[in-house]
Amino acid sequence: MNAVLALEDGTWYRGVAAGAPGEARGEVVFNTSMTGYQEILTDPSYAGQIVTMTAPLIGNYGVAGGDAESQSPRVAGFIVREASPIASNWRADGTLRDYLLKHGIVAIAEIDTRALTRVLRSAGVMRGVIATGHPDPAALVDRARAIPKMEGTDLVQQVTCAQPYRWQDRAQTGAADQESFGIAPERRASRRLRVAAYDLGVKWNILRRLDAYGCDVHVFPASAPAADLLAIEPDGVFLSNGPGDPAAVAYAVEHVRTLVAAEVPVFGICLGHQVLGLAMGGRTFKLKFGHRGANHPVKDLQSGKVEITSQNHGFAVDPDSLPSNVAVTHLNLYDGTVEGFRHVDKPIFSVQYHPEASPGPHDADYLFRQFLEAMERR
């Protein structure tokens, strides 16, 4: 089946359908990871976005049940250069195409993703539409221009949990899974620590990681009052990743402001990092084309070390807006944007990137240990 991708600037590409028939609308972005496409498809941070994979062949190792980061794919659509029709992997449950069909994800293949990525890097990410069949490209361009912009859009409510839950009750993990993470017993918490986590669109591997380090994680909806989290008397609070504009989730910012005043250790990742920045008086802004991939260099300003990190975000915290009691700890070596900060007097810190990876390197996994140490000291 034929398919067309059209962007709001009038650019369009003709290819073939690689997933479900129909139409997908969203912000077109690109990810430079060479593997991990299933984790990317199921990452709730991609809600409302059509993801372009820059690696030329996607789908060659199929999909596996244990690699999902949420219940189902969260992307609005998917773009690849070549979609492998077979799955060459003993772990695979099926092919990428069957997976996309099963979950109703519209995808397009056999377009020049290199040219598309150059357009998005030069002009910035744009709204776009994928449609299968024989659509009129000009009509698709008009539909792309009618899509609401990402700025000012609250997408968290689409992906947050409906009710609080305990991760250990939901997860199918045990001692064997902890061992597979490679976390030595001496690196785990000295006792089971209770963590209250705000689900802004959390990836499962974050929860798996906290569990493996020795934390009992209680997950709360993004709209839950801070008092609900504090009521369980947590050793620490975690702020998860998620989609959309951080400035649009004012309710979450207000909740986190209460937690900052409560003197409880707080650790934020991705959208949680941005929300924490807003709660402490900072501002956020939209990046031209964002950071999405598993190979982004980040410098730890305290140690001087450079970490290769996994990233997925389109907004950043303005360092000049942060108050004097907040110190920047990490910088992106591509463009100098803030990748981490901490409160100078309280056990509160966050990073813009994903230390749990999935996909990506584990250079930043030490941040989970820092969170443990902050909770244990308290």
Catalytic positions, written as ranges: 270, 354, 356
Contact call for residues 234 and 276 (beta carbons, < 8 A): no
Of 67, 58, 61, the C-alpha closest to 38 is: 67
Q: How far is CA 147 from CA 25, 105, 246, in A?
A: 7, 18, 19
Contact call for residues 319 and 328 (beta carbons, < 8 A): yes
Containing 258, the helix (H) or strand (E) segment is: helix 250-261
Distance CA 331, CA 11 (A): 34
Q: What is the largest CA-CA distance in the chain?
A: 62
State the distance between the two ends of the chain, measured CA to CA, in whole angstroms: 59
In terms of Cβ atoms closer than 10 Å to its own Cβ (0-12, 13-18, 19+), residue 249 is buried
Of 345, 366, 342, the C-alpha closest to 276 is: 342
Q: Which two tokens stand for residue 155?
A: 């997408």
